[in-house]
Amino acid sequence: MIKKLFEKVLQNIAINKEEAIYLINSDSEELYYYANKIKNYFCDDKVDLCSIINAKSGNCTENCKYCAQSAKYKTNIKIFPMIKHEKILSEAKKIEKNNIKKFSIVISGKTPSNKDFKDILKIYTKLKKETNLELCGSLGLLTYEMALELKKIGISTLHNNLETSKDYFSKICTTHTYEDKINTIKNIQKANIKVCSGGIIGLGESITDRINLAFELKKLNIKSIPINILTPIKGTPLNNIKILSKKEILNTISTFRFINPKSNIRFAGGRQLLSDNGKKGLLSGANAILTGNYLTTTGSNITKDINMIKECELKI
């Protein structure tokens, strides 16, 4: 059955939700094998690397249950306003020296204040002049007008995760809606900027929720799909939630590849929960990784990730 679905995908015939649920519950090694073959067929043997900087941390008005940056919860994260341009430029240049081509500024909050947005435009302008990086951003909910301004100064990609399925979203956040996120994605696309959007698995959602998320991303024609594994953080409502097994994680990645065969499936936050740091994921359908530190958890060393990619006989 898995081989038949693999052949179907290679013929550019989309699998349906029933078939996707079969895949995500199927025998692991066969699923990984064919997901990897789909990746190689549509995306070659290169791994897309990106890195981020946490440019504004904490004091977020939203109540996302998984997030340490929410002002609703008592966590031990560092809280700071927009950091100095010099620090962002310095970090960006270090990233570029490590042969990472994509660099994203990430800020906390529902949407940028006027002051922060003006500051963001200035730093992107400097980055454009002083580096050759592909500039990205994770800036919260954006209007079409904001997206247009970012386009004018050279932004390549904007990130806005759907996080989970439409049905499950209200279980993890009530201060903004799924529609708010979809509207932001459409505003970004309308401004002719690429969109990076995926989700977090391990929030207590069902397998069907994961499948529905993958199909929603397909519907929105998302070409960069980060998959994060929840790292439970003390002080958040999901602190005591059970961490997903390696099989659940890899089966999800592989099934996302079957559903979105031509997209970059990006292994993002939570890789450190796996004993191999996500190496098996690169051989099971993933073809992109977020490297370096994350927002409120420690990420993966860039040199270590590059060596891991070479061990998989893949290219950067």
Identify any residues that bridge with 228 across adjacent strands, giving them in sequence order. 200
Is 284 labelled a binding residue? no
Write out the H or E segment, with its range, that includes residue 194: strand 194-196
| Rg over CA atoms, the chain | 19
How does DSSP assign 55-66, residue by residue?
EEBS-BS---TT
Q: Which two tokens stand for residue 78?
A: 């560092």
Is 196 labelled a binding residue? yes
Is 104 labelled a binding residue? yes
With CA atoms as reference, report the closest residue to 139 among 165, 114, 118, 117. 117
CB atoms within 10 A of CB 32: 20
The Cα 160–Cα 176 span in angstroms is 13
How does DSSP assign 87-107, residue by residue?
HHHHHHHHHHHTT--EEEEEE
With CA atoms as reference, report the closest residue to 69 among 116, 108, 36. 108
Is 67 labelled a binding residue? yes
Residue 121: strand, helix, or coil: helix
Residue 204: strand, helix, or coil: coil
Residue whose token pair is 């003390």: 234
Within 8 A by CB and 6+ apart from 275, the residues are 246
Is 312 labelled a binding residue? no
Which residues define the annotated binding site for [2Fe-2S] cluster? 104, 136, 196, 266
Which residues define the annotated binding site? 60, 64, 67, 104, 136, 196, 266
Which residues define the annotated binding site for [4Fe-4S] cluster? 60, 64, 67
